[in-house]
Structure 1
Amino acid sequence: MENIDLFLLKRSKLFNGTQEKEIAAMLSCLSAERKKYDRDSYILRLGEHVHLVGIVLSGRINIVKEDYWGNRNIVAAVKPGMSFAESYACAADIPLGVSVQAAVDAEVLWMDIRKILCTCSSACEFHNRLIQNLVSLLASKNLLMNEKLTFLAQRSTREKLLSYLSAESMRQGNAAFEIPFDRQQLADFLSVDRSAMSNELSKMRKDGIVEYSKNHFTLLHDIEQI
């Protein structure tokens, strides 16, 4: 495919262990297709059936759970190089239980799951590796969902914030880090009221626990000391 960032795909979990020239050959085998989406537009909707796996090429998208009354919970944020919809694509008979929405202007690379799971007619030598990467990817996402349950299981808004911020700090290996959410998205992700969360963040700053500016945070103490 022309003008596609093969280096970005090389760093994705789905193409782990492959070289750029190998990825270029595989994209043709997988009937890959690029598509652009405007900010706030829906990429996939609750109830749809999908047989495609997406990789974000640019921008950012959110996996969103919405109830009958329109209440939103952000399940996950997907950044460039990350994939989404794998589980539903593998279980094509199960309708989507979430929606996928562009958080900013975004571009997505779509690939047919059926061509990932079935060996191609040209006996592509990299196909087995792709299948192994898909299994590993599904397992890692399952672990991330379990981690989110840990955040949500905390009783207070402060405890939820500390649990999430601590995990992000350790994931990025630094007390100073950026999160992929604005304030409303963070509140949706943690299933808390935005105003209550903002008030709690202000108290945490006053207590010398955290500093922040927009989506950049710095933890000032070890969690154990709080």
Structure 2
Amino acid sequence: MNLNIKILEKVSLFSSMKAADIESILECLESQERVYGRNQCIIQGGDEVPALGIIIKGRVQVIREDILGNRMLVAGLGPADIFAESLASAGAKSSPVSVYANEEATILWLYIKRLVCTCSTSCHYHSLLIENLLQLLAKKNLYLNNRMELLSKRSIREKIIAFLLAEGKEKNSSSFDIAMNRNEMAEYLCVDRSAMSRELSKLQEEGIIQYRKNHFKILVDSQIMDYN
């Protein structure tokens, strides 16, 4: 089996589809694969976005930048993750975010017009593909709502706690790794890195968390942590 198909079987857009179905639909949709170098811009803010991207290899960052040059990390994504699906589905003429490759990345592009229109051969899996896309958009909406709730926290401490609780819940463990370095974490939380590092140290000194590099462990009950 093609290595790319193995990755695509993990992609939520192709949920409940067999490898042969995925191969057929990629041909039907006239998908395009492209390789980007490290730090290369994949989508520039202001660009029109007619296609959604699926990460086959590497990692990318979704960044929002304001007119003063301040950066906010919206999301860090890796193999089998999808980006720009909401923009492509909405027919966005100007992307509010930029997407960059953290490292050399292979992206599979699917053009949304071919995705949402029934093909001439009436593929039996096309309706399933549209259903999966709708579920994907609904999940993205929930993600953005949770993101807004995180950013609404007033203090750096509250943001850190909310972030770590969410990461632990997602991984179903009180001990977990995060896929961010300190700069990326600060950008994601929209806080100053030095201030964030000081607050992390305080939380560790108080016995609330324990961490080393990108590994974190929550040492207290989540309700107690949330209260603090």
TM-score, with structure 2 as normaliser? 0.94
TM-superposed deviation, 1:17:
0.9
Q: Give 1:98-137 correspondences, 5 Å limit.
A: 98-137=97-136
Task: String of CA shifts for 1:91-144, please: whole Å, max 9, x gaps.
Answer: 224310110111222111111111101111121110000001111101100100
In structure 2, the partner of 1:172 is: 171
User: Does 7-16 or 85-94 show the bigger shift?
Assistant: 85-94
Take 1:40 and 1:213, find their aligned partners in 2: how far apart are those partners? 26
Q: Is the 8 A contact 2:61 2:99 kept in 1?
A: yes
TM-superposed deviation, 1:11:
1.6
In structure 2, the partner of 1:194 is: 193
TM-superposed deviation, 1:223:
2.3
Q: Is the 8 A contact 2:54 2:82 kept in 1?
A: yes
Q: Is the 8 A contact 1:162 1:223 kept in 2?
A: no
Take 1:128 and 1:144, find their aligned partners in 2: how far apart are those partners? 25
Take 1:87 and 1:45, find their aligned partners in 2: how far apart are those partners? 16
Q: Give 1:134-149 correspondences, 5 Å limit.
A: 134-149=133-148
Q: Give 1:6-25 correspondences, 5 Å limit.
A: 6-25=5-24
Take 2:31 and 2:113, find their aligned partners in 1: how far apart are those partners? 12
Segments of structure 1 that go 5 or more residues without pairing to the other structure are none
Task: String of CA shifts for 1:45-95, please: whole Å, max 9, x gaps.
Answer: 111001111011111111110011110001112221110111111122431
Q: Is the 8 A contact 1:45 1:98 kept in 2?
A: yes
Take 2:13 and 2:42, find their aligned partners in 1: how far apart are those partners? 20
Take 2:210 and 2:224, find their aligned partners in 1: how far apart are those partners? 16
Secondary structure of the equivalent of 2:23?
Answer: helix
Q: Is the 8 A contact 2:59 2:76 kept in 1?
A: yes
Take 2:116 and 2:46, find their aligned partners in 1: how far apart are those partners? 23
Segments of structure 2 that go 5 or more residues without pairing to the other structure are none
Q: Which amino acid aligns with 1:164?
A: F
Take 1:191 and 1:174, find their aligned partners in 2: how far apart are those partners? 25
TM-superposed deviation, 1:12:
1.1
In structure 2, the partner of 1:60 is: 59
Secondary structure of the equivalent of 1:14?
Answer: helix
Take 2:54 and 2:2, find their aligned partners in 1: how far apart are those partners? 15
Identity fraction in percent: 40
What is the aligned length? 225
In structure 1, the partner of 2:157 is: 158
Q: Is the 8 A contact 1:152 1:160 kept in 2?
A: yes
Q: Which amino acid aligns with 1:215?
A: N
Secondary structure of the equivalent of 1:73?
Answer: strand
Give every structure 1 segment of 4 or more consecutive aligned residues whose post-TM-superposition deviation is greater than 6 Å.
none
Secondary structure of the equivalent of 2:203?
Answer: helix
Take 1:216 and 1:8, find their aligned partners in 2: how far apart are those partners? 26
TM-align CA RMSD: 1.3
Take 1:174 and 1:96, find their aligned partners in 2: how far apart are those partners? 35
